[in-house]
Every structure is written in structure tokens, then in C-alpha cells.
Amino acid sequence: MLITSTSAKFLKRKSSINLNGRLIDFSKPVVMGILNVTPDSFFDGGKYKTEKKVVKRAEEILEQGGTIIDIGAVSTQPGSDGVSTKDEIDRIIPAVKAVRKAFPEAVISIDTYRSWVAMKVIEDCGPCIVNDVSGGNFDVHMFETIGKLGVPYVLMHMQGTPIKMQDNPEYEDIIRDISMFFTDRVKKLNKAGVKDVIIDPGFGFGKTLEHNYELLNRLDSFKVFQLPVMVGVSRKSMIHKLLGQKPEDALNGTSVVNTLALMGGADLLRVHDVREAVEAVRIMEMVRSTSV
């Protein structure tokens, strides 16, 4: 039985994760900046083709207050069918190496659903958070690999695969269904020796517009897991389609939805626009500090 959000608020949530001895604190929400080294991502595809541009973007994320740099080399937008492991490796390792060289103290996350890619990047570049949009569904070796590597893992919910995930997704009860998924996967992760898990309900991944807003409205239900919750809604179709816009016009809508996510208990915002998300966090923290 799922504990209600009213009961869940009294549970103590995990307030940090450990990356190679470095604690990343979630006692107040933090921001993850997106750095896509892909030619086909829905918003920023093709912008960061050179090492110089990759480093410049990483610098921008850090200067604007981002805590984590999330580097991805495969687009998972609706309709995408992925790339080969070799192509992913060839894109992501040079990018991670460049960021690590320029900013040795930066916290890096790698956006991959392949265990071999995770292992190769971490062997070559050092410990990183692994952000897996498939929640372990695309690679049966992912959980055991993360356990052996001893790094934090972002467990995201996705219904279907990117190429077909928006073809009439259905749920009996979206919160219950996703909670059952998290319950099963967290148990398997713990069994595999994974100690630090962040959960992500997967906005836009196998969800209709209505599903996404129901998820947003009931986000605090996931407090029951006592784990940090990540939200990634940046410039997604749930915002720009609702408002009749293109992704490049959806910054204001993104800030509104990020703020609502913070109100619902999000601990980590994954965004393209770091400065604006950091400002939302600062305002929300001020509101909370003055509440009786």
C-alpha cells in the first residue's frame, strides 16, 4: 500500500549522496546543468561539437550556480532510436575528459543507459554519477555494474522506448504504477550493492500531457521512498505544446514548472537554463525559511 503524501512528509529523507568520498548535499535543492554532445537533442543538439565549446558550456553551468554537470551523448527525445555504443563512447569520453581537465573539482553525471559505457567512462575519467533514463530496462547488467563501480545512480521511470514511448501511453494510476516500479528497482539496486540512488519520475518519457501534470501535482507522493527526487522538465513538450510555443520560447514556462516541482519536494532540477533554476531555488528557500 502506498503511503499518502500527508504521512510521507514526516519521514526522514536521505539528504546526501556519496561520490568517491565527496558528499553532495540535498538539504536544499540543487541544480544539474545539461551538456548534450549530441547532434539531435530536441533543444540544444549540435551546439557543443568542439572541446572548446564543451568546456565553455561547463564553465557556464558552474558560474551560474549549477552543482552537477550532466553530460549526454545519445538523444532520448520522443521518436529517437539511439546510436551505437561506439558512437556514444566516441562522443562522451572526450567531453568528460575535457570537463574533468578544466574543472577537476566539478561533479559530473553521465547520461547513459549502457553499463559498458558507464564502466568505460568511469575507468577512463574517474567517478561520475550515472543517469539512466531506462531505469535499468535497456541493459540487464546496469545495476550490478553500478554496484561494482560504487557510484550514485539516477533511477528514472520510462514507459516503453524513446522511439515509441509517446504512442498512447496508459496507466491505471500513474503515481501507484511508478511507485511500484521504484519499489521493485530500488530493492534490486540495494541487492546489487548500490548505496546512493536518486529517483526521477521521468516527465515526458511515456506520459501524455495530462499524465505529466498529474505527476507534477502529486510529486510529493514520492517522499515515501526517502530518497532524493530529480525532476527534468526543461523546455519539454509538456510546457511548450501546452502554451503553443517552440522549445526555445519555453523558458518562462519551464521556470514556473520547476518552481511547482520544488514546492512538491524536488531535490534536484535537471535543466538547460541554470541561472533561472538556481534563482527559483533561492526564492523557494527564502519562502521556506520564513514559514511558521
Residue 263 sits in which domain range? 5-289
Residue 78: the pLDDT is: 63
Helix (H) or strand (E) holding 202: none
pTM equals 0.91
Q: What does the pLDDT read at residue 79?
A: 57
User: Could you say which of 13, 100, 235, 236 is catalytic?
Assistant: 236
d(CA 47, CA 66): 19
Closest to 251 (Cα-Cα) out of 229, 275, 231, 268: 275
Among 270, 275, 282, 288, the active-site one is: 270
CATH number at residue 57: 3.20.20.20
pLDDT of residue 77: 65
69-102 pLDDT, tens digit per residue, is 999 999 776 655 668 999 999 999 999 999 999 9
Mean pLDDT of the chain: 90
Q: In what order do the strands lie in the sheet with 107-111?
A: 197-200, 153-156, 129-132, 107-111, 68-72, 30-36, 268-271, 230-231
- Say yes or no to pLDDT of 137 above 50: yes
Residue 270 designated active-site:
yes
Sign of CA dihedral 178, 111, 118, 166: positive
Kindly report, residue by residue over 261-277, the tens digit of the pLDDT. 999 999 999 999 999 99
Beta strand 30-36 with 68-72: parallel, antiparallel or unpaired?
parallel
Q: 244: exposed, middle or buried (C-beta count within 10 Å: 0-12, 13-18, 19+)?
A: exposed
pLDDT tens figures, 198-253: 999 999 999 999 999 999 999 999 999 999 999 999 999 999 999 999 999 999 99
236 as an active site residue: the answer is: yes
Residue 207 class from Cβ within 10 Å (0-12 exposed, 13-18 middle, 19+ buried)? buried
Kindly state the percentage of the chain with pLDDT values over 90: 82
**Total structural domains within the chain:** 1
